[in-house]
Structure 1
Amino acid sequence: MTSNSGDGRFRFLHTMVRVQDLEKSLDFYTRLLGMKLLRRKDYPEGRFTLAFVGYGPEDSHAVIELTHNWDQDRPYDLGTGYGHVALGVRDIYAICAELEKAGANIPRKPGPMKHGTTHIAFVEDPDGYKIELIDLSTRD
Structure 2
Amino acid sequence: MSFQGEQHPGVQAPASETRGFRLNHTMLRVKDPQTALEFYSRVFGMQVLRKLDFEEMGFSLYFLARLEEGDAVPEDAAQRSVWTFSQKGLLELTHNWGTEDQADFAYHDGNAEPQGFGHICFSVPDLDAAQAWFDANDVEFIKRADQGKMPDVIFVKDADGYWIEVVEAERMANKGDGMA
What is the TM-score with the length of structure 2 in the denominator? 0.68
Are residue 128 (structure 1) and residue 139 (structure 2) matched?
Answer: no
What is the CA deviation profile of residues 40-84 of structure 1, one whole-angstrom value per residue up to 9, with x for unaligned ones? Answer: 122222111110101246323221110000133311122311111
Structure 1 stretches lacking a partner, 5+ long: none
1:113–1:120 Cα contact (<8 Å) kept:
no
Instruction: Report the structure, 1 or 2, having the larger helix content.
Output: 2
Count of paired positions:
137
User: Within 5 Å, which residues of 2 pair with 1:23-38?
Assistant: 23-38=34-49
1:28–1:126 Cα contact (<8 Å) kept:
yes
**Residue in 2 aligned with 1:4?**
14
**Residue in 2 aligned with 1:40?**
51
Q: 1:104 to 1:45 in 2, by over 3 A?
A: same
Secondary structure of the 2:118 match is: coil
**Residue in 1 aligned with 2:88?**
61
Instruction: Report the structure, 1 or 2, having the larger strand content.
Output: 1
CA drift of 1:112 comes to: 7.3
What is the TM-score with the length of structure 1 in the denominator? 0.86
**Residue in 2 aligned with 1:96?**
131
Structure possessing the higher radius of gyration over alpha carbons: 2
Please give the root-mean-square deviation of Cα atoms over the aligned residues, in Å.
2.2
Secondary structure of the 1:110 match is: coil
**Residue in 1 aligned with 2:116?**
81
2:64–2:91 Cα contact (<8 Å) kept:
yes
CA drift of 1:103 comes to: 1.7
**Residue in 2 aligned with 1:16?**
27
Give the % identical residues. Answer: 33
